[in-house]
Structure 1
Amino acid sequence: MHVGQESRATILVVDDQPFELAALERSLGSLDLHIIKAQSGEEALQYLEDQEFALVLMDVRMPGMDGFEAARLIREHAPNRRVPLIFLSGARREEAVIVRGYASGAVDYLSKPVEPDALRAKVRVFVDLFHEREALRRQEQTLSQRERQVLERQRRQAEEALLESQRTLSMLMGNLPGMVFRCRPDWSLDFASEGCQALTGYAASDFASSPSLWTSLMAPEDVERIVQEAKQAFVEGRLVTAVYRILRRDAQPRWMWARSAGVFSPEGELRFIEGFMTDITEAKAAESERDRLLVGLREAVRQRDEFLAVASHELKTPLTSLSLRVQVMRKEVDAQPRGDPKERLHKHLDAAGAQLGRLASLVDSLLDTTRIISGRLSLRREQGVNLAGIVRAVASGFETQAMRVGSPLEIDAPVRVLGHWDALRLEQVVTNLLSNALKFGAGRAVQLWVEERGEWARLRVSDQGIGMDEDVRARLFGRFERGVSDRHYGGLGLGLFITRQVVEAMGGQVLVQSEPGQGATFTVELPRLPPAGESEGALDEH
């Protein structure tokens, strides 16, 4: 049925203040309505008994029977009438008032002073619903009783679903931490939910009267960027996600996050853009602070690594000079006639040489660590390197230390286990593992096994010392990590870190098995041949 053929809808406006009734009548003047005015709840009930209304607009606060009581009586005495009721009140969105209003049978709630545009929009919805209901009633007159019952049930279900949807939508939009919006294809705002006030400082009526207000709050380059992103997304059938800044009414810049979708006609023409936006200024500030801290952290790590490199080289120079001087002194002592003074000097030189060796080892560890961190750990593979021979040679150098701590060395190795390896780096691996076993071996025997397994070679170093738990094993190969306190065992916590890096650089792996009080076994597995395409003597950068 065309609009021109529909009868005028009648609405009832209830308010005890004549000027409020006049204001509501003016606001609704542009709609083709028959408006009946009542100044009390009792008068409203009398009108409702006599005629049908498309909608009731009722003030909550009235002397005598207030709006809540009138709504309750309407629902009790005319349960089948189902006339929609919108409450009006000067209270500012008080939750208790809203909840009580919905419980009394209201379908919506408007605060005074009522925005004319919002009032007309809501009234138009229920007037349209009334006309549809009237059209259905006229159709029902031509149907049988059973058909009318079925249609009546369906109509009630549809009305209840519509009213429930209206209430749910109103509550959701009123409590969202942001703004629901609809704009036209030219990005002029057509609708904004009440959240726009907290978001921008402007009321929904400001955007209704000035559709281009929203884009004026944005930077021109952001508007252009988002328009292009939206066009591409709509062509591909995607949602548009945008992050940009606006200038609030109080001149505060704020970051917005928005997600929207295009609404198209059946012919594929873009009709509207609908979506949601919220303020992410605090999140952006946290992100900027995180980035700033990350830059500072990276710079601190770079400065630390640079200091380690410089300090290592600076320490290496006097140590080399001191080591040479000790060697010269040893030769001069050897040239003197034998005697007690010479023996005592030899002991002092041996002790000094051992300390120099320890210092040189620590400095070498620092140098290797800085090379690993900066990606400059070098390998020089040689053909026919004998792992078994290296193990025996390193073990021979540790015999004195092993005797001193009461941990005899037991070696089980064939004459030769050959491979393409860096001999010096392999010696460093064996030295680190054997030194570690003697340090934590608790005065018990240390075993070394070497075996050849096809294209792989395997080295195992096992002690019967203090062992370690799962937490220690998980972090054992980290930089500067120690299984126990350095107060009792010393060291920089770099030996196992360097060992793993060297072994993995040669294509192998190092594993550990251990339990507290049951010692530890370190297993190194190395490929005997270099990776395909790598030649002997080549310098590999890692």
Structure 2
Amino acid sequence: MTGSREGRTSLSRARILAVDDHSPNLLALEATLGDLGEMVKVQSGEEALLRLLREDFALILLDVQMPGMDGFETARLIKERERSRFIPIIFLTARSRDASHVFRGYAQGAVDYVLKPFAPEILRSKVAVFVELFLKEQQLKRQEAQLRQREREALERESAYRYRLLADAMPLCVFFADAEGRLRQGNRAWCELSGLSADGVEDLWRSEAVHPEDREGAHAAWCHSVLTGESFEVQFRMRRREDGGFRWFLGRAVPERNGQGLITGWIITATDIDDPKRAGEALARANAAKDAFLAAASHELRTPLAAAKMQVQLAERKYGEVMGEGPRRALTGLNRQVDRMTKLVSDLLDVSRLLTGRLSLEQEEFDLVPLLRTSCERLQMLTSEHSLILDVPEWLPMWGDPGRIEQVVTNLVSNAVRYSPQGGTVRLRAWVEGGELALGVSDEGVGIPAEKLALIFERFGQAHGARYGGLGLGLTISQGIVAQHGGRIWAESSGIEGEGSTFQVRLPLHSGEADRELSS
């Protein structure tokens, strides 16, 4: 008897759905089967279908003769649903005993067909079999789930172990944090660097391991990443155990996410960047010193160059009539070299002003066309091997610094002439396009290799080295002037000798009215 009670207790969690339109029949079923499981009683097929939508049952006891939806129709609908199609159904009926009626019940998916009045012990034995099968199935499912969980945990432990080995093998510091951003563990590189244990990282950003000047900044950046889920990147200094000195590190962190996209942890790395950072700082200081020297030297050179220019001009005026051809050519050559040197010094000064943000503009409204004509005429006088063609409309009003715009035009046209050693045509165009004032300077020279198109706008950048002269500053200065006018400049070239290059400039128009008039 004790064993029987224990068996019934183990079966008490099964739920049995009883469907009958007569309440006394339901009470009789509950009295007979109540100790085998939890009885759920409904009085119609419709109500049974509703319960089956949201609940699971070990067995369905279904009366055949019911008003409205009978037992056969109810069974058919139960078997059509994915959730309930495998629940066993036992039909109960007191009316039809013929074979065709019984076969119809089995055809609707019934596992048994019990005639009323039924013998309680027979019905109990039938129900007990299906309840026990249901509980065994549930037990197997739980065991399967537990097995899968143990397998997952074993895989996670193995993965964590391999992950740890990988982290320890890396030459940079690696840290692990939980979803809330609390650092839990560091790798071997961290232990060797700091002399601390692997788990001595809980408050890393505010610890003695981090330079005092960097603690709050690193901690604030870390808190922001944890709060927003964004990647973390910050430079900070950490103390080295060997000598107590600090070295620069680049800290980066990415979140680990589960299948639903939720953050489950963080992986942080700290890469030693001390050597390249200090080299970069030294290079920056050297560049600053070089720029300061160039600026100072340029200023100092202007005075003797101006004096030399005045002396040449004075000699030409005083002795020009009595001077022989040789001395006259010498003075002319000297004058040309002084002008060239003055131009180089002026370029160095302009670059220095650009770097320090002191390249000022004296802006006014003016017509660009006369400026372009004058520039072309002046530059044409300096070369007999090139034909300078100007293609412009009647007028082009703009707002800017005429002197600086002329400097840009002179640089572009001079470059076109310089890099067309075989002569040819240099075309200067100006027009209105897309609400902007457009300038284009094209030549038939040596062209620019594709990989050098970006280099030529850098300081001292030259597509062909020093072969064609110049310091490589003209385009840098032109780019700075155009940018200060709110415009842009770029080069286009196939890189094939003889096809030349085209430099494009776009500048904002002075007013919408000018844009409309020029476009009409």
Give the TM-score taking structure 2 as reference length.
Answer: 0.54
1:428 aligns with 2:407: yes
Letter matched to residue 491 of structure 2: V
**Cα contact 1:381–1:420 (8 A) shared by 2:** yes
Matched, 1:345 2:332: no
Q: Which amino acid aligns with 1:425?
A: R
For 1:378, the aligned partner's letter is S
Q: Is the 8 A contact 1:333 1:345 kept in 2?
A: no
Hey, what's the Cα distance between the residues in 1 that align with 2:237 and 2:129?
Answer: 58
Instruction: Give the root-mean-square deviation of aligned CA atoms.
Output: 5.2
1:476 partner SS: helix
Distance 2:255 2:492 in 1: 56
User: Alignment partner for residue 151 of structure 2, among 164, 187, 199?
Assistant: 164
Structure 1 residues 161 and 504, CA gap change in structure 2 (3 angstroms):
same
Which of 400, 403, 426 pairs up with 1:446? 426
Assess, with a 3 A threshold, how the Cα gap between structure 1 residues 476 and 258 changes in structure 2: closer, same or farther: closer
Q: Which amino acid aligns with 2:460?
A: F
TM-score (normalised: structure 1): 0.52
Selected match of 1:380 from 353, 357, 362: 362
Q: 1:308 to 1:155 in 2, by over 3 A?
A: same
- Which residues of structure 1 form unaligned runs of 5+? 1-140, 208-212, 262-273, 532-542
Q: Which residue of 1 aligns with 2:377?
A: 396
* Structure-2 separation of matches of 1:408 and 1:492: 25
* CA positional deviation for 1:168: 2.3
- Which residue of 482, 502, 519 corresponds with 1:503? 482
Once residues 341 and 477 of structure 2 are traced to their aligned partners in structure 1, the CA distance between those partners, rounded to angstroms, is: 17
Tell me the distance in 2 between the aligned counterparts of 1:298 and 1:452: 41
**Aligned residue number for residue 369 of structure 1:** 351
The Cα shift of 1:505 comes to 1.4
* Secondary structure in 1 matching 2:441: strand
- 3-state SS in 2 of match to 1:479: coil
Q: Specify the code of the residue in structure 2 equivalent to 1:370.
A: S
Q: Decide whether aligned partners of structure 1 residues 350 and 454 sit closer, same or farther in structure 2, where only a CA change above 3 A counts.
A: farther
Letter in 1 for 2:503: F
Corresponding residue number in structure 1 for 2:310:
324
Is this contact kept in 1: 2:229–2:255, CA < 8 A?
no
Given the alignment of the two structures, is residue 459 of structure 1 paired with residue 439 of structure 2, yes or no?
A: yes
Q: Does the 8 Å CA contact 1:194/1:203 hold for their aligned counterparts? A: no
SS at match of 1:523: strand
Could you list the per-position Cα deviations for residues 118-153 of structure 1 after superposition, in whole angstroms to 9, with x for gaps in the alignment?
Answer: xxxxxxxxxxxxxxxxxxxxxxx9984413541342
Which of these residues, 312, 319, 323, is aligned with residue 298 of structure 2?
312
The residue that corresponds to 1:480 in the other structure is: 460
Matched residue type, 1:429: V
Gaps of 5+ in 2: 1-127, 169-173, 257-263, 513-520
Query: Partners of 2:190 and 2:326 in 1: how far apart?
Result: 91
How does 1:8-87 map onto structure 2 within 5 Å? none
Q: Specify the code of the residue in structure 2 equivalent to 1:523.
A: Q
Identity over the aligned pairs, expressed in percent? 29
Change (3 A) 1:451 1:342: farther
In 2, distance between residues paired with 1:373 and 1:201?
Answer: 45
Counting only pairs closer than 5 Å after superposition, residues 134-145 of structure 1 correspond to structure 2 as 144-145=131-132
Structure 2 distance, partners of 1:411, 1:240, is 55
> How far has the Cα of 1:326 moved from its partner?
0.5
Pair 1:300–1:169, CA change in 2 (3 A): same
Q: How many residues align?
A: 353
Q: Deviations over 1:308-362 (max 9, x none)?
A: 111211222211111111111111123x44xxx4333322211111111111111
Give the aligned partner of residue 526 of structure 1.
507
Contact 2:486/2:507 (8 A) holds in 1: yes
- Distance in 1, matches of 2:364 and 2:504, equals 22
Secondary structure of 2:273 counterpart = helix
Contact 2:432 2:438 in 1 (8 A): yes
**Quick one: which amino acid aligns to residue 161 of structure 2?**
G
1:204-215 mapped onto 2 (5 Å cutoff): none
Partners of 2:231 and 2:395 in 1: how far apart? 68
Q: Which amino acid aligns with 1:478?
A: E
The one-letter amino acid of 1:348's match is A
Aligned partner of 1:154 among 133, 138, 141? 141
Deviation (angstroms), 1:421: 2.6
Q: Is the 8 A contact 1:217 1:246 kept in 2?
A: no
Equivalent residue, structure 1, for 2:117: none
**Alpha-carbon distance, 1:456 to partner:** 4.9
Change in Cα spacing, 1:355 to 1:162, as seen in structure 2 (3 Å) is same
Shift of 1:500: 1.8
Letter in 2 for 1:382: E
Q: Following TM superposition, by how much is the alpha carbon of 1:364 offset from its aligned partner in structure 2, in angstroms?
A: 0.8
2 CA distance for matches of 1:219 and 1:459?
A: 57
Q: Would the aligned equivalents of 1:244 and 1:257 in 2 still touch at CA under 8 Å?
A: no
2:396 & 2:186 partners in 1: Cα distance? Answer: 79
In the other structure, the counterpart of 2:62 is: none
1:173 & 1:240 partners in 2: Cα distance? 22
Q: In 2, Cα distance between the equivalents of 1:322 and 1:219?
A: 64
Instruction: Tell me which residue corresponds to 1:292.
Output: 278
Q: Report if the CA contact (8 A) 2:368-2:397 is conserved.
A: yes
- Would you say the 8 A contact 2:237–2:246 is kept in 1? no
Aligned to 2:90: none
**3-state SS of the aligned residue for 1:160?**
helix
Alpha carbons 1:511, 1:524 under 8 Å: kept: yes
C-alpha spacing 1:151/1:374, structure 2 compared with 1 (3 Å): same
| Distance in 2 separating the partners of 1:353 and 1:306 | 29
1:216: how far off? 12
